[in-house]
Structure 1
Amino acid sequence: MNTQDLTGDRPAAVDQVPAPGPLVMLGFQHVLVMYVGAIAVPMIIAGALKLPKEAVAVLINADLFTCGIATILQAAGIWRFGVRMPVMQGVAFSAIPPILVIATNPALGLPAVIGAVMAGGVITMLLAPVFGKLLRFFPPIVGGSIVMVVGLSLFPVGVNWVGGGRGAADFGAPHNLALAGFVFALILVINKWLKGFWSNVSVLLALAAGMLVAIPFGMVDFHGVAEAPLVDVIHPFYFGWPVFDVVATLTIVVVMIIIMIESMGLFLAIGDVVNKPLSAGEMTDGLRANGLASLIGGALNGFPYTIYSQNIGLLVVTGVKSRWVVVAAGVILCALGLFPKLATVVASIPLPALGGAGLFMFGVVTAAGVRTLARVDFEGTRHNVYIVAATLAISLLPTFSATLFNQLPGWLQPIMHSSILLACVMSVALNLLFNGMVCADAHAMPAAGGWQASR
């Protein structure tokens, strides 16, 4: 695909490389947005398995390092691997239940998890071309609906952060709400009165200011910084050589297929934001990179990887579309995995501060979906209203009630608990039902001009 700007030889926005200073700051901003989610999965798994402190540290360090590798692979691209867009990768939360089922089986344990993740990565790479050909089933009405669901489904996460974190003793306390409100308002102020680079790093500046304000009130926890080692190395196969069990592998493959379907919608959403229409080949390359990341992650004690949708909001807020910013973020993640003391400092940012930034960015993602849907003909084709309405109604059920589908069979729960997956399936199926193949073409989500932030 030609990445040159139509007006000359200047690279397209997605391929432009900022100066080194802004590159690092913009990349670090992306890391802050996804950091809590990145370390949450290994902590949840380690806690459920009652692993010793040393093993927990191994999981977290490996997770950060492999998140960085996966992100670099997607954003920079190597041969036929990587979608070459600003895509942040992290461990998939949807993989937690099956991983715990496998790991708690005395006959299997973590070696079987490692084997299943690696085998699932290989199978994902083999299936990528098949799923890449489904791109034509994602016209703007499908893509816009998915992007809206992505934004709306993130709000409960932001609300929990604003309160201080699920289960916090002071959840919803006035000081938590005040800190979140301060960060939220500061992002708006920076974007209103500052221009250029400073508005591009508005989230980073607001989080830094929020952390400084929180320190005198005892809201910043530096516990563990002194004990954390300055440098550590990643230990491949720390929990033993992989065990390849058929049932365990098939279980993880189901999760990987769900991740592939979710990723298709998110790739299209990011492509729409950065004004880069995707081809079927590029979609395939992105899905193939997901598989390779999981293969590498398994060898380094990691888990299946997916796109972190919260970073889409940051792309819209900053107006910076360069994939090399995200490559820089990947390098920073790798460094955090190798320097645990630095990672512990980053983890000390108060959750309410992240919540204030998160609510703003998740709202921006939702607005991005609305803007995509503005290109859809709702007057001449009234069925389009039904497609969007039904997609939102069904796909947001698990967002508003996390336990609604707990009584369903176990094999159905990974499907029904994913709002993004439900949005993909519902919108594609309903569009085919009401519109047939009329709206489907090879470039289903054309670039939406106007996403360049006004500065």
Structure 2
Amino acid sequence: MANTKHTVAPVDEMMPAGKLFIYGLQHVLAMYAGAVAVPLIIAGAAGLSKSQTAFLINADLFTCGLATLLQTLGLWKIGIKIPVIQGVTFAAVTPMIMIAKTGGMPTIFGSVIVAGLVTFLLAPFFSKLVRFFPPIVTGSVITVIGISLLPVGIAWAAGGVGNKNYGSLTFLAVAGIVLLTILCINKYFEGFVAHISVLIGLGVGLIIAIPLGLVNFAGVATASWIGFDIPFSFGIPIFDVGAIAAMIIVMLVVMVESTGDFLAIGVMVEKKIGERELTAGLRADGIATMLGGVFNAFPYTAFAQNVGLVGLTGVKSRFVVATSGLILVVMGFFPKLATIIASLPNAVLGGAGIAMFGIVAASGIRTLGSVDFEKNPNNIFIVAISIGMGVIPVVDANFFQLFPNWSQTILHSGITLGSLTAIILNAFFNGSKGAGEVQKELAANAGIKG
């Protein structure tokens, strides 16, 4: 719960170990499906064996944890120190599939290492773009993030894409019960219980799903109890120029998305995000990505899925998400534990996902509430067109199919497309503002003094 003495900022509040663990586990459960999806996709494209696929998943979880600890706790001038959980970016999936088919896993890891280094070096220069993120842009970007994520939650609620019974009334009923549980807890309870409403909702959904035969514990019995992530397990990295160029483009996209996520969380937790903080956060993205290449994993970014959980629960402490990082590291050492948590059905995750991702969109709308549309009627066009562009990949994945291959990474990401549109239109209509003025507006919108 929030600090009542006001001696410590909410984002820096330390809680009892029990609360840290429960809140942290809630974040892990919310992001787990997305965290393991990329390793599964890449493993399939690379033709890896079942044991290699399991190793790849645990390597990813381990590196997720390290990246999250670096981002939340900070080290020197690295890490933004807000409750942001790190996960594999989906923007890298398509390039990595192509690289896997032509150069194999060592070529993927080589390109990831170099792209992470480039991200680290570019961070101080990229962070100066914060002046192009006033509330009109930030609100539009946060709204697009939420809208872009909602289809994921909806697909989960229906059973998951590819499920032969997709849209089954059983799936929808389970998702509905989870969502109703979350809503009722928030209406009738306060404090600690309300803060773990998502965790309780997932638990209720799991209990209901087991007798319905929706929970598949296959693989738990055969999974190893202990496993270690040994660097370069797939061989010495191969540094291919074409693969490196593709991955650098991906990381430029990731930097735009991370900036939006950092600013969104900054508003939620009442912390000013200026050039210094943004530089530290982007540097952590770069270091985490380099670690990904070393520890048999992939490019890392702020996980937008968990932005909604921060807004929904109101738990603002970065140490909660640091605990999530510790849990992920531990899961990386215990394949059996990871397999058990992976048994949560999509329908159960979907009920929580609709609530969390909807909260992100609602937070964006709330941010836009501070924008003056009367004195500057052109602001309505910035919001309208950026959101319109951002939902194109959501409603029609083939819309940009005839565009050049090099542009697909950008055009297939609604978050990036919407962000770039908002930035460009704001610069066109309103010009750029100094970083201090932007932060003053963001602070006022979040209720921060000073």
When the two structures are superposed, what TM-score results if normalisation uses the length of structure 2? 0.96
How many residues are treated as equivalent by the alignment? Answer: 444
**Corresponding position of 1:41:** 38
**Corresponding position of 1:384:** 379
TM-fit CA distance, 1:311: 0.6
List alignment gaps of at least 5 residues for structure 2.
none
TM-fit CA distance, 1:195: 1.4
Q: What do the CA deviations read for 1:269-290 (whole angstroms, capped 9, x no partner)?
A: 1101111111101100000000
TM-fit CA distance, 1:293: 0.2
**Corresponding position of 2:401:** 406
Task: Answer yes or no: is 1:178 the counterpart of 2:170.
Answer: no
8 Å contact kept, 1:391–1:423: yes
Q: Secondary structure at the match of 1:445?
A: helix
Of the three residues 423, 426, 446, the one matched with 1:428 is: 423
Pairing 1:294-305 to 2, within 5 Å after superposition: 294-305=289-300
Q: Secondary structure at the match of 1:90?
A: strand
Q: Secondary structure at the match of 1:216?
A: coil
Task: Answer yes or no: is 1:325 the counterpart of 2:289.
Answer: no
8 Å contact kept, 1:142–1:424: yes
Of the three residues 253, 257, 273, the one matched with 1:258 is: 253
Q: Secondary structure at the match of 1:312?
A: helix
TM-fit CA distance, 1:292: 0.2
Cα–Cα, structure 1 residues 267 and 447, in superposed 2: closer, same or farther, change >3 Å? farther
Amino acid paired to 1:137: F
**Corresponding position of 1:22:** 19
Over the residues paired in the alignment, what is the CA RMSD in angstroms? 1.5
Task: Answer yes or no: is 1:355 the counterpart of 2:350.
Answer: yes
Q: Secondary structure at the match of 2:301?
A: strand
Pairing 1:94-173 to 2, within 5 Å after superposition: 94-105=91-102, 108-173=103-168
- Percent of paired sites with the same residue: 49
Cα–Cα, structure 1 residues 154 and 46, in superposed 2: closer, same or farther, change >3 Å? same
TM-fit CA distance, 1:9: 6.3
8 Å contact kept, 1:138–1:445: no
TM-fit CA distance, 1:449: 3.8
List alignment gaps of at least 5 residues for structure 1.
none
**Corresponding position of 1:211:** 206
Q: What do the CA deviations read for 1:6-48 (whole angstroms, capped 9, x no partner)?
A: x976110000011110110000000011000000000001011
8 Å contact kept, 1:117–1:249: yes
TM-fit CA distance, 1:59: 0.6
Q: What do the CA deviations read for 1:375-418 (whole angstroms, capped 9, x no partner)?
A: 00011110011110111111110011122112211101111111
TM-fit CA distance, 1:437: 2.6
Of the three residues 230, 233, 248, the one matched with 2:225 is: 230
Distance 2:36 2:444 in 1: 33
Task: Answer yes or no: is 1:274 the counterpart of 2:269.
Answer: yes
Cα–Cα, structure 1 residues 109 and 383, in superposed 2: closer, same or farther, change >3 Å? same
Distance 1:121 1:356 in 2: 35
Moved over 4 A (4+): none
Distance 2:385 2:291 in 1: 39
TM-fit CA distance, 1:448: 3.4
Distance 1:244 1:394 in 2: 35
**Corresponding position of 2:279:** 284
Of the three residues 77, 81, 85, the one matched with 1:80 is: 77
Q: Secondary structure at the match of 2:219?
A: coil
Q: Secondary structure at the match of 1:306?
A: strand
Distance 1:102 1:357 in 2: 34
When the two structures are superposed, what TM-score results if normalisation uses the length of structure 1? 0.95
Distance 1:288 1:18 in 2: 27
**Corresponding position of 1:92:** 89
8 Å contact kept, 1:151–1:365: yes
Distance 1:114 1:362 in 2: 31
Distance 1:306 1:209 in 2: 30
Distance 1:439 1:401 in 2: 37
Distance 1:391 1:9 in 2: 38
Distance 1:87 1:61 in 2: 20
Of the three residues 42, 58, 71, the one matched with 2:68 is: 71
8 Å contact kept, 2:42–2:100: no
Cα–Cα, structure 1 residues 348 and 144, in superposed 2: closer, same or farther, change >3 Å? same
8 Å contact kept, 1:58–1:235: no
Q: Secondary structure at the match of 2:405?
A: coil
TM-fit CA distance, 1:439: 7.8
Distance 1:46 1:260 in 2: 25
Distance 1:12 1:395 in 2: 34
Amino acid paired to 2:117: V
TM-fit CA distance, 1:446: 2.1
Amino acid paired to 2:398: T
Distance 1:61 1:402 in 2: 30
